[in-house]
Structure 1
Amino acid sequence: MGAPDAIAAAAPGERSRAAAVPRCARRGAVAAVLLALLAAATHLVAPAEAAVQRVRIGSTTYLAHGKVRLTGATSASVKKVWVEARRSGRWLRITATTPVKRKKFSLTIARRASAQRVRVASGNARSPARTIRALESDACGVRPFKPNGTTWRCTLAENFDGTTLDRTLWKPQTNFATGDALRAACYIDSPDVISVSGGRLRLSVREAEGLGLQLCTALLPSPITRYVAGMVSTYHRFTQQYGRFEARMKSPVVGVPGFQESFWLWPGDRVPTAVKWPAAGEIDVVETYSVHPDLAIPFLHYTANDNGGPVPGLNTAYCHAPRGEFHRYTLVWRPRTIEVYVDGRLCLRNTSADAAFQKPYILLFTQALGTAENAFRGGARLPVTMEVDYVRAWQ
């Protein structure tokens, strides 16, 4: 019985040491687990880091029509890329995603009027930024592109700055009249009907208040009228054969028939010809009529009988351009084709290559009284005024 008692007496201490061993083991086990978790985390992070590795632009190639191609390489884990541009102090995405093939990419973006900073991105990866050159510009602004990818060259840029008409470029018309036998207006050289201010040319039709009745020889045999109008041209100041011509202008809202506004070209008389109008030619880039308040109507006059009158799709067209708003009217004139655009949309295309269109022309703007169905019979508050924001020409 003694031995068992001795054992029993020693049991509490032995139990304490026995309990101590598992606690040490537990600490070691916890440490091992923490180390294992740390190692696992290290292995988990590595692939994520690999996914946001390098994107690099290798080359920048300037293409036709204002495009730029960016090519480069990525790390193996990058599957798609896009382009970001610096705008107003922030990086903004400007293209859709493009797949990366064999760690290579190719992206195309458009140049802008000013230089821009761009970079290629994927996930958290960003390439070093590149500067993309601005589009070519001159006195007319950014140079428009021709179909072959080259650019037009500015030959005339008139923004109507200042407060008076530039008479080195423009000549007021004074020897014609507008309207019909019942209501006609005499073209005069006066600030009452021709003025420049606020960056715009203004041409008006008005009653000759304070000017008295007008003796207008163009109205013979009835040369007296109480209406006056404004018209300017580049007669003996600027002519051009072929090229691109554009004006931004607004026709007035009047609510009744009687008014016509025009941006047009007329053959210069410095090239002698025995041919008479209409065979001699006339290019009406746009005519607007208050009787048709939503239409812009180009008209090409040529051939001895003027093609028998208007032939939509051949010498005229009817395109949407509401009065009271500024619209861009563009003529693209080549040896074999004439195209007219309204706000960038093709309105008329002529491929006659007629002899009438193979010589230099002058530019004209007219605020007129109408004729026929668009004749003025009253009902509008005068003056009625068209506005021209700019006119430009290129070759």
Structure 2
Amino acid sequence: MTRLRLLPWLAALCTLACDPAANRSIKPDVPNTPGQPGPEWQLVWQDEFDGPAGTPPSPERWVHDVGGHGWGNEQLEFDTDRPENASLDGTGNLVITARKESYSGRNYTSARINTSGRFEQTYGRFEARIQQPVGRGIWPAFWMLGANVGEVGWPECGEIDIMEYRGQLPAITRGSLHGPGYSGGNNLGSEFVVSGGKLNEDFHVYAVEWEPNRIRWLLDGKAFFETTPARLPAGARWVFDKPHFIILNVAVGGNYLGPPDSTTVFPQQMKVDYVRVYTRAP
């Protein structure tokens, strides 16, 4: 799916809209150096983001979503395909940078990249090792959309939010599921509160394990939420049985967390050490 096909539905997409107070669970400290997945998982796709500093993310793996229309969430940034907003740092990380600057009628810039048309998969373990930005109004996310979104629209296509995070609440991450009859503020999801630390202070591994009729969310190898078709609202349909593609982005502002204020320091960066995808070993 090309960028030109993506943009019309993205302009109207109400993605990542959550109820911040719903389903919050407080857990003990989570180690940030988990072991590798067990032998039941077989690696099938990865990007380790190795390369010279300033190199853009691989065009063989990633497509840029370019635009500044709010993405259905009243976001304030213009997402570009410039290396100033998304590039490798030369030490094995992808860096997505939100900047305060005037650009194409917006007061902020950032980046949003996806694997549509490059890589899509049904079921498996999807994980990324990420160090979060921080500050009011900063909204990074690692998520997936059904590859048929261009044909059936959102939320019919399904959306799996592996991680979203509000910069003003740096000890909380959220995992969510959006589909027909359970989207936006009525999604199925849960928050994970880390005690004794903040997610911007170090790298952490965010993952889902997606199986037929079951999706499980993990932070640093510790499961904190799981859902199945049995948890859907009455009459709602489970649409998570077809390929999804991966998205990484950093939004500025939006209806999930509000705008930046005078305390927000720019630029802010989300650093991604890797993205890896596994299937169940035969």
Structure 1 length normalisation: TM-score? 0.54
Contact 2:143/2:161 (<8 A) preserved: yes
Change (3 A) 1:309 1:143: closer
Alpha-carbon deviation of 1:182? Answer: 8.5
- Is 1:250 the counterpart of 2:131? The answer is yes
Q: Residue 318 of structure 1 corresponds to which residue in structure 2?
A: 191
Change (3 A) 1:260 1:182: closer
Alpha-carbon deviation of 1:330? Answer: 1.2
Of residues 288, 293, 314, the one that matches 2:170 is 293
Question: Percent sequence identity over matched residues?
Answer: 28
The CA RMSD over aligned residues, in Å, is: 2.5
Alpha-carbon deviation of 1:352? Answer: 1.1
Unaligned runs of 5+ in 1: 1-140, 146-150, 216-223
Contact 1:203/1:230 (<8 A) preserved: yes
Q: Which has the larger radius of gyration?
A: 1
Of residues 270, 277, 280, the one that matches 1:393 is 277
The SS at the match of 2:239 is helix
Alpha-carbon deviation of 1:177? Answer: 4.4
- Is 1:367 the counterpart of 2:243? The answer is no
Of residues 195, 199, 204, the one that matches 2:92 is 199
- In terms of fraction of residues, the more helix-rich structure is 1
The SS at the match of 2:165 is strand
Matched AA of 2:179: Y
Instruction: Write the deviation string for residues 147-166 of structure 1: whole angstroms up to 9, x where unpaired.
Output: xxxx2221112111002221
Q: Residue 59 of structure 2 corresponds to which residue in structure 1?
A: 167
Matched AA of 1:202: V
- Counterpart CA distance in 1 for 2:37 and 2:185 is 38
- Is 1:281 the counterpart of 2:154? The answer is no
Change (3 A) 1:335 1:374: same
- Counterpart CA distance in 2 for 1:226 and 1:302 is 32
Structure with more relative contact order (C-alpha pairs < 8 Å, separation 6 or more):
2
Matched AA of 1:382: F
Alpha-carbon deviation of 1:363? Answer: 0.6
The SS at the match of 1:248 is strand
- Is 1:378 the counterpart of 2:230? The answer is no
- Counterpart CA distance in 1 for 2:193 and 2:109 is 29
- Counterpart CA distance in 2 for 1:295 and 1:236 is 32
Equivalenced residue count is 230
The SS at the match of 2:157 is coil
Unaligned runs of 5+ in 2: 1-34, 231-236
- Counterpart CA distance in 2 for 1:377 and 1:174 is 21
Alpha-carbon deviation of 1:359? Answer: 0.7
Greater shift, 229-238 or 365-374, is seen at 365-374
